[in-house]
Structure 1
Amino acid sequence: MDNKMIVAWMESGMMQIPILLMEKYRQIGLDEKELIVLLQVISFIEKGNHFPTPEELSERMTITSKECSLILRRLIQLQLLKIEKDNSEEVRSEKYSVAPLWTKLADELMSEQKQKDLQTVLDEGQDIYTMFEQEFGRPLSPMECESLAMWLDEDKQDPVIIKAALRESVLSGKVNFRYIDRILFEWKKNGIRTLEQVKIHSAKFRQKPKTTAGQQLNNKKSGTVPLYNWLEQ
């Protein structure tokens, strides 16, 4: 290839197309023709022509200027393209803005993330019910299911913390909802929000168990670690 051709090709410029646009154009309401028209508009803008006519767009494509005009109108209706006043020069004119397109893509991305977060919460919720039934060795009663739902929905308890409270009740040999509810209440009152805080808080109480001198002596002989009774708090 002639060097002059390579230089001319490089000087004509390059346009970067966001991968997100190529992945999500269908979700934001575009078909392939509309996408190409939109990309052509962006291309004209990057070359300094901020308000290309349907005729100019049509010259680069295999569709008529009339069809380009209809597509431009639809892009504006979809709020993916906007016409603004251009006051950068002495003569007032109009220009296209693709800012609505980037906003739409950002909204789509945020919406998908919220859906993923919701699904994660639902999955964790289902996992919690399974974990409780395994530890209880039976299906949960309607009242127990309601208590569990209340911890998740009303108290906004982290599923990880609820699981930790269940494990605490199992270690204490008191596997019942009243005991677990008391643990969650105490942890929330003391600002316990993470597993690390749970470990520190629980260890602090286990170092000072409410046992008699005889029980303490037996614990030392047997090598067992006394457990804290949360219902006595």
Structure 2
Amino acid sequence: MDELLEYGCIDFKKLLILKAKSMKLSDQECYVLLLIMTLDEIGIKPITPSQIHKICSLSLQQIDETLIALVDHHYIARMNGSLDLRPIENLLLNQKSEEVQEVDLVSVFEDAFGRSLSQREVQLINSLKCQGHSDDMIIDALDESVKSGVITFRYIEKILDNWAKYGVKRRYAPQPIKQENIDVEQRIKDYKWWENDE
């Protein structure tokens, strides 16, 4: 299968048109996906809402809403400011894509801010997603701003822009726990200090 993909033997646009109804894609979502595939095929990078707007009659707001819906339904992914078509390609080939855990960014931000977010702040979160930042990166940037004591959307956006500039994909990737650390922690927990006669 990888060789077929590598040599471009599979026409994903035709597959998308044939499978869009069974995948419960709206006509507008299918159209935007076809535009993204076309832009990707002719080598336009990065693919942004403004690039899509140049070749279609949809408004920027409609394109943004459609892209957010496609990302939320895991048909496309955003990686460091650009769109990734691998999820839709895997779905079209009936391959399982990596299970993405749903994150409620509004709740995460409300916990960090200690208050409810305004409508404007919710729009700012959506704009971060539209810029191509993953949920994990947005949460990492929020954590970084909390650690530095500057909890503002402007600061969070600057952190994300800086990370994108230097190609940081995951700031706080989970580290595997070593077995020896678990053993040491267990020995500390089991230590009977009251039995020690010195």
The answer to whether TM tops 0.5 is no
Decide which structure has the larger Cα Rg and report it: 1
TM-score between both structures, scaled by the size of structure 2: 0.37
More helix by share: 1
TM-score between both structures, scaled by the size of structure 1: 0.32
